[in-house]
Amino acid sequence: MTLAERLRQLREAKQLSLEELATEASISKTYLWELEKDTSAAKKPSAAVLLRLAKALSTTIGDLLNQPVVRVADAQVAVLPSLQEFAEQMKKAGTPLSDADLRDLALMKFRGGQPETTKEWHHLYMTLVNTVRGNPPS
């Protein structure tokens, strides 16, 4: 199944119009229409667009792209002291991290490493928020 077919299938299952989904995903209605009509898979939406569409459709990018996925049971995740300090700073600032955000940050690694300071955690968090949500907290 192509992205075009899956996108339309998921949109219709949620009973959303093109305009409603476009608004939710912060993309133009025209671009969304083009993606749904692109049965030859010529269009290559960016990862940011795919993330916003997946979020708006309450699914994953893997599901959106009709890729096989597996679910992993919830497990305890170790939180580095610097990440815990960052979470406390965010809480004091009035924008606490959700449990899911804290878990996702704790699991994130780049080239085998993780941020070491609260400032680095803040930069990573804001980059992710800007990419996925498009509207960072204050």
Summarize pLDDT for 9-49 with one digit per residue, the tens: 999 999 999 999 999 999 999 999 999 999 888 888 998 89
The closest of 137, 64, 133 to 97, measured between CA atoms, is: 137
Is residue 90 within 8 A of residue 97, CB to CB? The reply is yes
The verdict on 97 and 49 lying in the same domain is no
What pTM value is reported for the model?
Answer: 0.52
Q: Number of structural domains, the chain?
A: 2
Helix, strand, coil content of the chain in percent (nearest 5): 55, 0, 40
Range of the domain at 29: 3-64
- CA distances for 8 relative to 66, 93, 99, 103, angstroms: 12, 40, 31, 31
Q: What is the pLDDT of residues 97-122, one digit of tens each?
A: 888 888 888 888 877 788 999 999 99
pLDDT attached to residue 16: 94
The verdict on 48 and 91 lying in the same domain is no
The verdict on 25 and 50 lying in the same domain is yes
Instruction: Say which DSSP state 25 is in.
Output: H
